[in-house]
Amino acid sequence: MNARDRILAKLRPFSPSTATTAPDVAAWFAAHRPVESPAEKARRFRHFIELAHAEVHAVTADNWLKTLCAVLRARGIEQLLVAEGTPHGEQVLDGLPPQGIECATYDMAIEAWKTEMFTATPASLTAARAAIAETGTLILWPDALEPRLMSLVPPLHIVLLDATKLYNTFYEAMTAEGWKDGLPTNSLLISGPSKTADIQQTLAYGAHGPKELVVLMLNVPEGAQ
Amino acid sequence: MSDQITEHRLHFKPAEGFRSRAKAVVDTPFLRQSFRGAMDFLMSKRAAQFPDPEELESLRTLGEQIRQYNLARLPDLLEQLEANLTRNGVRVHWAETPDEANAIILGICQQWNAKLMVKGKSMVSEEIELNHAAEAAGISALESDMGEYIVQLAGEKPSHIIMPAIHKTKEEIARLFAEKVPGVDYTDNVDALIQIGRTVLRQKFMEAEVGLSGVNFAVAETGTLCLVENEGNGRMCTTVPPVHIAITGIEKIVEKLDHVPPLYSLLTRSATGQNISTYFNMISGPRKPGEKDGPEEVHLVLLDNGRSQAYADEQLRKTLQCIRCGACMNHCPVYTRIGGHAYGTTYPGPIGKIVSPHMLGLDATAGLTTASSLCGACGEVCPVKIPIPELLMRLREEAFSAPHPNPAMRGQGAGYSPLVSAIWRGWAFVYRSPAMYRAVSWLTSRFNWLTPSRQGAWTSVREPLKPAAKRLRDRVRERG
Amino acid sequence: MSPATPRPTDVYFFATCVVDQFFPGAGMDAITLLERLGVRVHFPEDQTCCGQPAYTSGFPDEARKVAAHQLTLFPNDWPVVVPSGSCAGMMKHHYPTLFAADPVRKAQAEKLSPRIYEFTRFLVDVLDYRPEDRGSACTVVLHTSCSARREMGVHLSGKKLLGELSQVTLAQQDHESECCGFGGTFSIKQPEISGAMVEDKVQALKASGAERVVSADCGCLMNILGHAAWKDRQEGRTSASLPGEHIASFLLRRTAP
């Protein structure tokens, strides 16, 4: 027998497969997390992600590029990593270079430009798939167009979020979107810039990932601006 | 950074020296103050996360149900997890012992000619002492969680499962960095210290051939590994190097994805008093064709190391409900007095006392079972309702009873003392019989002037106990 | 809880071995107080110990033998009042587990369990006792045992009783819910840690500004007062810097006609 079979053989005799009934997660959330209006969700999302040290701007489809530009300029950054082939990436590639922002794209495998990514990429823009109000959390599903490291390595990470895609809870997000039927190779919840309190319980931002997280919120409902 | 990260081999110390290590901390006012301060901080942060006692109680009950439901199906779920991970392109390995786990991990490293392994926070990798095995094989294993990096630089072990460097002040860390990190001047500014760590470790993330991580929840139905962290080093370790190896105990499994949100919420709120961690990283496979980053290979090592022993006993199985939040440590008056190192085990504090005997045997850990006043603070805050005091009493029974055939645990009877057992039998002989009890207590009260003024450990910090000259029963009778 | 429960005319008093041998005054005061409230108190002569010391030390067989004897002490259907949270917890919550493999005794234990009352809870919840203060102004601090707090959930009844006393100020202590470090054999097996815990506890109690400490558990009092007196002797004090007593004694004195 190999280790696998030995371990399973040690467990098997003591495993009653019907001894306990299934926990009712849905009932708990139904009882403890009331449905919220879009405006309430947007307010809560903003409140919690700002508590976690993120900067949030309400934007419109017409002015978000301008805000993006201002965010970069305020930090003296003249270079942005964007995802070619995504609608928001294409808009940036069209709109920002004339404003003096140089736009780089993630057009080859990381091995070919690891050093540049780590040392010469001050900022990135990605979209969020959705977000969670109760904890101020962005949901990202990195893919071939917008790979994983875009949200991790650049010191400034800017996220474009459509506020109509706000869920109340993590549970609601995964069930509404049917995640159990298929997850990508990597999916992420992000709730602020990278941080640590490992030295004498003192909070410090910018541990290994982004030092700053900026959220550009599209379609913010009335009453949550 | 030197290639030789730790100067000497460090092994977990046997439990025998526990009392003297505990005394060393207790006798150091500075350490006592600093542990007290840190634990007060963590306790108040947790309390702020659970303002509604009803919600807390119902969520703990749900957490307990989820863990018990999944443990009841453990062997089936392990097979389901393996099948789904394999379908997703993740390679699954099984290890009964720390040696087997190390051999698997180092074997993968050797296939890749790896010189450097960067590590995200993983208590299971501490449990198997992977860093030493890696060094012996000529592979540098570098901790990248800031707290773990600090204790590794200092040649120490983590003293807390969530806050590894909680025993260190920023001044100590400043001196450590100035001494051990080339080109760094002394600074005790915390932001500056973190930036030093960031700079050193970012270079290492780029260089490493292998990234190692733990697992917080493994989801069987989707074949997904979930990792909880704040720093981003876990994401670095699982994304940048070409190989990602995850290691976990066999118990950290849930059947359904929707079991995760309640446990995740309980975990971060109980551990550090955060409503959520900065990152929740769900890994369901290696880089797919067309993707531009992510590891080419993902491996999962499933470790037993005594867990199946706990599993075989209905009561002891509750030990495996643990989600490693560390709240039991933060609320433990014993941990607060002595810190994590005194325990001499990978997992310190209340959870360490109930899980370590399964990993190390009671022979090495029998003494630790007595290091609790059974005050119940640990069980009260446990997010999945592990009855820690009850399990400690059971472990005491296993440790101190006479060795017998077919014991439930390795090392059963290791703390057996014929004298102590005889004393308890004598005690029972007196107290089970009203006549005997009356006679003995009459003697001790009438001859209370014979009570010794030194009563062993009791009188080290207390006045001697002296029976009253008249017992309550005498006074009741006299009154009529 | 229930002022709706009919007021009992008779109770059993299970003194505990610690009260019988070391704190008979506290036991006497508890009995006197109960009687003053119109309850007949029966003291089963054959009582010894609840069995907890062996149980928590890992000797359940010995605990079972001793506990089995206590099961025979309370034939009538009266409440059993115990002036200790931890002994009451043992009898109420652990007896049924202890006799899990003995159907007859398990049934007895389960029948006994709801009749077991910790002393302060009995005063508050069953007798609805509102003590009338006749003493002069003083400040006290309350220490509640871990068993009373976490196992019996009665930490509020002691507070409520003291809160009824108009001339008594209840002082606040740091780390109120933390263990005093007694823990039965823990204090002997891990004297360094237990010693540090009781040192901190006594400091916190003194720092509260209270003149004295009261508690409903004599195990804790033995530890706390034992350390406070030791410290007094070490530091050359001739009078107690932290006097203390069982809450029954304090209540009886404050309400003496």
What are C35-89's pLDDT values in tens digits?
Answer: 999 999 999 999 999 999 999 999 999 999 999 999 999 999 999 999 999 999 9
Backbone φ and ψ for B166, nearest 5 degrees, come out as -65, -20
Query: How big is the CA angle at A139 (ends A153 and A54), to the nearest 5 degrees?
Result: 60
User: Does the beta carbon of B65 lie under 8 angstroms from any beta carbon of chain A?
Assistant: yes
CATH architecture for the domain at C138-255:
3-Layer(aba) Sandwich (3.40)
The answer to whether the beta carbons of residues B204 and B111 sit under 8 Å apart is no
Q: How confident is the model at residue A200 (pLDDT cuts 50, 70, 90)?
A: very high
- Judged by CB atoms closer than 8 Å, whether chains meet at A200 and B193 is answered as no
Question: In 3D, which of B285, B373, B343, B349 has the Cα closest to residue B85?
Answer: B285
Domain tally, chain B: 2
Q: Which of C46, C191, C222 sits opposite B460 (nearest CB)?
A: C191
User: Does the beta carbon of C227 lie under 8 angstroms from any beta carbon of chain B?
Assistant: yes
The answer to whether the beta carbons of residues A215 and B240 sit under 8 Å apart is no
Q: Which residues of C touch B385 (CB under 8 A)?
A: none
- Whether B383 is covered by a domain: the verdict is no
Q: Is the pTM of this model over 0.90?
A: yes
Written as six digits, the tokens of B8 are: 């000497």
Cα B447 to the chain's mean position, in Å? 49
Fold (CATH) for A35-192+209-218: Rossmann fold (3.40.50)
The residues facing A55 across adjacent strands are A214
- Note the pLDDT tens digit of each residue in C226-235: 999 999 999 9
Written as six digits, the tokens of C191 are: 């004297």
- Whether B334 is covered by a domain: the verdict is no
- Note the pLDDT tens digit of each residue in A48-74: 999 999 999 999 999 999 999 999 999
The rounded distance, in Å, linking the Cα atoms of B345 and B353 is: 9
Q: Domain boundary residue among B272, B288, B308?
A: B308
- Contacts across the B-C interface (CB distance below 8 Å): 191
β pairing state of B210-213 and B116-119: parallel
The answer to whether the beta carbons of residues B299 and B245 sit under 8 Å apart is yes
Distance from CA of B457 to the nearest CA of C (A): 5
Q: Which of B206, B283, B317 sits opposite A114 (nearest CB)?
A: B206
Distance from CA of A218 to the nearest CA of B (A): 22
Q: Domain boundary residue among B280, B308, B336?
A: B308
DSSP C234: H
The rounded distance, in Å, linking the Cα atoms of B460 and C104 is: 44
Q: Which residues of B touch C146 (CB under 8 A)?
A: 373-377
- Note the pLDDT tens digit of each residue in B407-450: 999 999 999 999 999 999 999 999 999 999 999 999 999 999 99
- Whether B209 is covered by a domain: the verdict is yes
The answer to whether the beta carbons of residues A128 and A140 sit under 8 Å apart is yes
The pLDDT assigned to B1 comes to 34
More confident residue, C153 or B85: B85
The pLDDT assigned to C257 comes to 83
The pLDDT assigned to A16 comes to 76
Question: In 3D, which of B73, B63, B74 has the Cα closest to residue B264?
Answer: B63
DSSP A170: H
The rounded distance, in Å, linking the Cα atoms of B206 and C209 is: 59
- Same domain? For B422 and B302 the reply is no
- Same domain? For B301 and B439 the reply is no
User: Does the beta carbon of A105 lie under 8 angstroms from any beta carbon of chain B?
Assistant: no
- Whether B409 is covered by a domain: the verdict is no
- Same domain? For B438 and B290 the reply is no
The rounded distance, in Å, linking the Cα atoms of B156 and B385 is: 31
The residues facing B95 across adjacent strands are B303
Question: In 3D, which of C52, C43, C50, C41 has the Cα closest to residue C8?
Answer: C41
Length of chain B: 480
Question: In B, residues 275-304, which contact A (CB 8 Å cutoff)?
Answer: 275-288, 290-294, 302, 304
User: Does the beta carbon of C183 lie under 8 angstroms from any beta carbon of chain B?
Assistant: yes
Q: Which of C58, C150, C200 sits opposite B380 (nearest CB)?
A: C150
- Note the pLDDT tens digit of each residue in B246-283: 999 999 999 999 999 999 999 999 999 999 999 999 99
The rounded distance, in Å, linking the Cα atoms of B225 and C44 is: 61
Written as six digits, the tokens of C181 are: 């470090």
The pLDDT assigned to B228 comes to 98
Q: What chain B residue is nearest to A52 in terms of C-alpha separation? A: B278
Please state whether at least 3 CB pairs lie below 8 Å between chains C and B: yes
The pLDDT assigned to A223 comes to 79
Q: Domain boundary residue among B308, B324, B355?
A: B308
Q: How far is CA B165 from CA A202, B124, B149, B170, C77, in A?
A: 12, 17, 9, 10, 57
Q: Per-residue pLDDT for C142 more than 60?
A: yes
Q: How far is CA B23 from CA B415, C21, C188, in A?
A: 21, 32, 14
- Judged by CB atoms closer than 8 Å, whether chains meet at A188 and B277 is answered as no
Per-residue burial over B406-429, b if 16 or more Cβ lie within 10 Å, else e, is eeebbbbbbbeeeeebeebeebbe
Q: Where are the domains of chain A?
A: 35-192+209-218
Domain enclosing residue B454, as ranges: 418-478
Q: What chain B residue is nearest to A143 in terms of C-alpha separation? A: B291
Give the chains touching B; criterion: ≥3 Cβ pairs < 8 Å.
Answer: A, C
Reading phi first (left if > 0) and then psi (alpha if -120 to 50, else beta), residue B376 is in left
Question: In C, residues 108-127, which contact B (CB 8 Å cutoff)?
Answer: none
- Note the pLDDT tens digit of each residue in B162-193: 999 999 999 999 999 999 999 999 999 999 99
User: Does the beta carbon of B390 lie under 8 angstroms from any beta carbon of chain A?
Assistant: no
Give the chains touching A; criterion: ≥3 Cβ pairs < 8 Å.
Answer: B
Q: How far is CA B320 from CA A45, A219, B28, B312, B351, in A?
A: 35, 46, 35, 11, 10
Q: Which residues of chain B have pLDDT under 70?
A: 1-15
- Judged by CB atoms closer than 8 Å, whether chains meet at B472 and C27 is answered as yes
Q: Per-residue pLDDT for C3 more than 70?
A: no
User: Does the beta carbon of C163 lie under 8 angstroms from any beta carbon of chain B?
Assistant: no
Residue whose pair of structure tokens reads 């009331």 in the numeric block: A34
**Cα torsion angle, C130, C134, C139, C144, sign:** negative
